[in-house]
Structure 1
Amino acid sequence: MTRKTFKMHLYPGMVEEYARRHNELWPEMKAMIHEYGGHNYTISFDAETNTLFGYIEVEDEARWAESADTPINRKWWDFMAPVMETNPDNSPVCEDLREVFHLD
């Protein structure tokens, strides 16, 4: 299992909408995350910077990377684009973070 941490940025005033959309996460999106080996997924928010911090454990990084090209993931990116910084293909602007400490 690989632990991945990353950050993304919300547009100002969009945290409640972001949270609402995730609290109503589509069943097929949940299934895809698990199908592609994602577990223990958490996203936190820093109000001072509008920064989201994500944590997910993945079974296989190559398999997880394949999930980006699934139709449901592309649909989710399109759905989330109005509330956060995105790339031209509507994927979130996402910066990987380097783990510097872990304790079980």
Structure 2
Amino acid sequence: MAWIVLILAGCLEIAWALALKRADGLTRFWPSVIGIGLAMVSLVLLSLALKQLPVGTAYDVWVGMGMCGVAVFGMLFLGEQVSAPRIFFLVMIGIGVAGLRAIER
């Protein structure tokens, strides 16, 4: 169950980062409220997952999901640069997170 909570927290991290992008430096009210609210819920879910998971692994998964998710969304929908090195390093983040999870067992 802790892993499901952690994955939900990671998905919300992606959502709050994207909402804050739309908030334009917190100058747009609703995207700002949504982004800050989702960030708070994401942190609460992370803290709940940390009750059962090692902090290093859980935090790495949470941050890795956020970094990769936002980067991929940006490339697919926001016109951000797509390049072989960028894809390579995103894959490396995924491998690192998976590796940390594998050695946890």
TM-score in terms of structure 2 length: 0.29
Larger helix percent: 2
Larger strand percent: 1
